[in-house]
Amino acid sequence: MQISRNYYISTLLKYLKPLWHQSLLLLILLLIGIGLRLLNPQILAAFINTATAGANSQLIQLALLFLGIALTTQLISLLETYLAADIGLRTTNQLRADLTLHCLELDMSFHNQQTPGALIERIDGDISQLNYFFARFAIDFLGNSIFAVGVLIALFSIDWRIGLTAIAFVIILLFTFNQFNYRVIPYFQAERASSAALFGFLAERLSGTEDVRSSGATAYVMHRFYERSRDLFPKLVKAQTFGSGVFSTWSVFFTLGKAVILGISIVLFFNNAFAIGTVYLIYRYIELLEQPIQQFGRQVQDLQQAGAALIRVRELLTTQSRLRDLGQTTLPHQALSVSFENVDFRYPTPEQDANATPPDLVLRDISFSLSPTSILGLLGRTGSGKTTITRLLLRLYDPTRGTIRLSGVNLPDIPIAALREHIGMVTQEIQLFHASVRDNLTLFEPSIPDARIEEVIQEVGLWDWYASLPSGLDTLLAPGGSGLSAGQAQLLAFVRVFLKNPGLIILDEASSRLDPVTEQLLEKAIARLLVGRTAIIIAHRLATLKRADQIMILEDGDCIESGSREELATNPDSRFAQLLQIGLEEALA
């Protein structure tokens, strides 16, 4: 896949436009610096001609002027470097933020096909490759072009033969640039893809270090690491070799051009067409012309790498979610009714495997309805489809067939963000961030007052733990909630839901594998949480299911029984009654 020059330009303009003041100042400094760099050789040539002519009275003034211009040029270069770094960081950080937001908004079928490490490499590694592209490429390319044109004009003004020869070689070099550039980009693209695969593998394996060690899989992981490294190394060498080849080709052409121009200058000098200072001026301008030409060569490599990274960034940005977020209907801030009507669902296949045989349905013809403040107890073995129902309610996926409604509104008619604001979910695995207690509980929502957070902490029975924190709500939690018990993490998840105040609660195995004391606290928290709210509870424990008004039992994606809890419990022929007699934990294990 190639990208057009227009895409390079449009991407630059999109992210540089908000920083046009800094970009304009950088351009002005660049033009001033170019003018001073073109002027200095003239002063040095005048110094040489003056010295050879014996006019010593002007030498000191020329030397001081030369020194002043040189110092000013260095100061301007320092300011340019600072501005370019600032622009580069701002633009790449904004692009990184745009890419992160886009990935977060993509549906789960996309994330199921990606490893976290590969996404991190694409969001951070690829965009780091674009830092120079945003910071200096356009300015340097423009500046080098203006400087090269200025040198050519100066050489042409000295002698038309020198000027024409220099112009001919520059044209040859530009033609070489145009021929080589797009041929090399695929090599860098392959290197970036292989690098992302390696980092994705490392992130996945390092996150499971405990399991890898305990299962004796260290040797296997290292073997796979070497395999991926062997895949990356030749691609990296090939990309760097071909990229450097462009620069080397340019150097050869320039050396030949420099030799020809100097040869012409020497001939003209011996024919008394030039003074010695003029010969030096031609030599100095040829040397100065070499600088932008060499930088063009480096920019070719930078552009190749940026092009490969930009292709991968563009691929990610143009990846569309399978969920269409076009809804405009709002939900009431109260307990919600829930309705499933003949819902089928199968997990989507990757887009690149569109011709593959579709996977089996994981839900088949599921229908039920819950009135506001009703509670549904959802039972079934692992893999029966219980969690899939909650994913459909959160609209992480759309059903393959059928309709899901909340308070009579079809889910696609509700904006996805608004929909999820009305649903609170607590699962067995709680994700806690390396952030303050406040941010972990509010999920970075600054509008929730501290007094309300502390009130809810006391409600769920976590006050003793909270009182022991050294900095209260400002205390930093360790990554992943390290140092907290499973019960404390669960209760913190309940605090999140209380603060969110949703109209529908989903508890997915929320009280499993807890000690009796913590389970008591959790049961009290659940009782408070369910007041005035609709709920769906996935559980193996009888105590939790006693709150349910309705029961649904799933088996291999089919609803094999549903109805009022009391009616099913008193009906000896019902599957639910049999489960109660056997014991839920044993029967559903």
Per DSSP bridges, beta strands 550-555 and 409-410 are unpaired
Cα distances (Å, whole numbers) of residue 155 to 33, 149, 254, 385: 19, 10, 16, 78
When pLDDT is cut at 50, 70 and 90, the band that residue 203 belongs to is confident
Give the pLDDT confidence of 148-179 residue by residue, as tens digits: 888 888 888 888 888 888 888 778 777 776 66
When pLDDT is cut at 50, 70 and 90, the band that residue 222 belongs to is confident
What is residue 75's predicted lDDT score, i.e. its pLDDT? 93
Q: Where are the domains of the chain?
A: 11-317, 338-349+359-587
Q: How far, in Å, CA of 290 to CA of 281, rounded?
A: 14
What is residue 473's predicted lDDT score, i.e. its pLDDT? 93
Whether 575 and 381 have beta carbons less than 8 Å apart is answered as: no
Q: How far, in Å, CA of 522 to CA of 516, rounded?
A: 10
What is residue 335's predicted lDDT score, i.e. its pLDDT? 93
Residues 338-349+359-587, CATH architecture: 3-Layer(aba) Sandwich (3.40)
Whether 368 and 552 have beta carbons less than 8 Å apart is answered as: yes
What is residue 419's predicted lDDT score, i.e. its pLDDT? 92
Q: Is 300 exposed, middle or buried (0-12, 13-18, 19+ CB in 10 A)?
A: buried
Q: How far, in Å, CA of 185 to CA of 7, rounded?
A: 15
Per DSSP bridges, beta strands 375-380 and 534-538 are parallel
When pLDDT is cut at 50, 70 and 90, the band that residue 341 belongs to is very high
Distance of alpha carbon 363 from its chain centroid, rounded? 33
What's the CATH code, domain 11-317?
1.20.1560.10
Evaluate if residue 536 carries a pLDDT over 90: yes
Identify the DSSP state of 508.
E
Give the pLDDT confidence of 418-443 residue by residue, as tens digits: 999 999 998 877 888 888 999 999 98
Per DSSP bridges, beta strands 401-406 and 409-410 are antiparallel
Give the pLDDT confidence of 347-380 residue by residue, as tens digits: 887 665 556 567 789 999 999 999 999 999 998 8
Q: Which of 4-13, 57-66, 197-206 has the lowest mean pLDDT?
A: 4-13
Q: Which two tokens stand for residue 375?
A: 């509670």
Evaluate if residue 492 carries a pLDDT over 60: yes
Q: Which two tokens stand for residue 385?
A: 């489809």
Give the pLDDT confidence of 292-315 residue by residue, as tens digits: 877 776 676 677 667 777 788 888
Q: How far, in Å, CA of 47 to CA of 56, rounded?
A: 9
Q: How far, in Å, CA of 538 to CA of 532, rounded?
A: 19
Phi, psi of 505 (to 5 degrees): -110, 135
Contacting residues for 282 by C-beta, under 8 A, at least 6 apart: 155, 158, 159, 162, 261, 262, 265, 274
When pLDDT is cut at 50, 70 and 90, the band that residue 227 belongs to is confident
Cα dihedral 377, 378, 381, 382, rounded to 10, equals -120
Q: Is 185 exposed, middle or buried (0-12, 13-18, 19+ CB in 10 A)?
A: buried
Evaluate if residue 564 carries a pLDDT over 70: yes
Distance of alpha carbon 164 from its chain centroid, rounded? 49
Sheet with 401-406: list strands edge to edge.
363-370, 338-345, 401-406, 409-410
Q: How far, in Å, CA of 386 to CA of 119, rounded?
A: 29
What is residue 481's predicted lDDT score, i.e. its pLDDT? 75
Cα dihedral 179, 180, 182, 184, rounded to 10, equals 160
Q: How far, in Å, CA of 456 to CA of 494, rounded?
A: 9
Neighbours of 97 (CB within 10 A): 12
The arithmetic mean of pLDDT across residues 206-219, rounded, is 73
pLDDT higher for 276 or 83?
83
Long-range contact list for 577-582, CB < 8 A, 24+ apart? 579/379, 579/553, 580/542
3-state secondary structure of 536: strand
Name residue, tokens 């020809």: 260
3-state secondary structure 84-135: HHHHHHHHHHHHHHHHHHHHHHCCHHHHCCCCHHHHHHHHHHHHHHCHHHHH
Identify the DSSP state of 447.
T
